[in-house]
Structure 1
């Protein structure tokens, strides 16, 4: 079973074995509006939980994408360079940003499951 977790900054993590697929939630892309540019990290870069991992720019604003987990970037979604709109069209599918080799699986325990994230969104009203 695929495990999806969320941060309060609206990043998601989809765990596939010892690799985490990272992107922004549907809520986040909706808040940003039309995404026009995505800056992705280099493969091999070490990222730390809570630190900047990527940048997303929309017609409204530029925003950091924070690493939900500590790990090493093993793949980036290069399709976003030519088609940043994928983030709007399918944020939790084809619009993913990067894949991390998870350094500390226990960090997943700090993230919200889908139910908890939906409850969190309800508080943002």
Structure 2
């Protein structure tokens, strides 16, 4: 039987591997590149953007997988202990934590969101 964490883990690993190996094979992906010499044709720019979006989606899937595993562990703990109040409190904390992390990721940490996968900004730190 396939459950949510297994599907999300498979999706996460697939997205992260595709984006990782895709970035390694893109034009302009050498370690010695400077932002001034970064000039790509439209096809390469589109590939950089695609792999950037896949890496971003992989991060979202990674967070979701972690919280789904926490939920499964809460279900197992609930079936073992039958302490309803404590389980409901911890489940509420986990749900609030998940939504707050996703909101912070989308609204604060990756702001503006389009700049997360802009090719010219990927080399600013190199």
Q: Per the shorter chain, which TM-score range?
A: under 0.3
More contact order relative to length (CA 8 Å, sep ≥ 6): 2
Higher Cα Rg, which structure: 2
More strand by share: 1
